[in-house]
Structure 1
Amino acid sequence: MRPKTTSNPEEAEVLALNALGFLAAEPDRLQRFMDLAGLDIQAIRASAAEPAFLGAVIDHLLADESLLLIFAEEQQMRPDRIASLRRKLPGAALDF
């Protein structure tokens, strides 16, 4: 029998929204995300409630270890927990 998980998609969405706030708190971080994603601020606002977009926000952190570690510390969360929650949102890569 598998252990019951305490995470759910809503928890992952909240984490991703926190990650988006983390990126937005530093203009350079936000600009890098926008440049890599090919989005402007209006597109981010329009997409912020979409689970697939929120997954992409977490993917951005998972792809940059130093950024991930800073965010994880701010959230008082282990980086592997962030990766685990990422799997609760659409479009998760299997290698995270």
Structure 2
Amino acid sequence: MNLEQDAAEAIALKGLAWLAGNDELLPIFLGARGASEADLRAGAQDPEFLGSVLDFILMDDAWVLAFCAETGLANSAPMAARAALPGGAQIHWT
């Protein structure tokens, strides 16, 4: 699944909203990013920040499954969206 950046940002924004509504994961994400809740609003406009939201969700399969189940997305959507955002290209070592 190849996504355009706009579609990838829309998925990442859903991820941000999902995190914001998760009382357990939000503080972990904020701590890992060194961000405040005010930074979330500003980050919603930044494709690199949105990529970090997806990076965080992709750290745990259970989080991916919960996010996708709650938002009605395919389980492959977060990874496809991450690949379409800045810094998400796969590294080819050859």
TM-score normalized with structure 1 length? 0.83
Say whether the 8 Å CA contact 2:18–2:67 is kept in structure 1.
yes
Deviation, 1:61, is 0.5
Quick one: which amino acid aligns to residue 43 of structure 1? D
Partner of 2:66: 70
CA RMSD of aligned residues (A): 1.9
Partner of 2:47: 51
Match of 1:86 among 76, 82, 87: 82
Match of 1:30 among 22, 26, 32: 26
Quick one: which amino acid aligns to residue 81 of structure 2? L
TM-score normalized with structure 2 length? 0.85
Match of 1:16 among 4, 12, 16: 12
Deviation, 1:93, is 5.6
Query: Structure 2: any 5+ residue segments left out of the alignment?
Result: none
* SS of equivalent to 1:92: coil
Higher relative contact order (CA 8 A, sep 6+): 2
Task: After the TM superposition, list the runs of 4 or more consecutive aligned residues in structure 1 that deviate by more than 4 angstroms.
Answer: none
Instruction: Give percent identity, aligned residues only.
Output: 32
Provide the rounded CA distance (Å) in 2 between the counterparts of 1:17 and 1:56.
11
Provide the rounded CA distance (Å) in 2 between the counterparts of 1:10 and 1:93.
16
Distance 1:30 1:52, change over 3 A: same
Provide the rounded CA distance (Å) in 2 between the counterparts of 1:12 and 1:26.
21
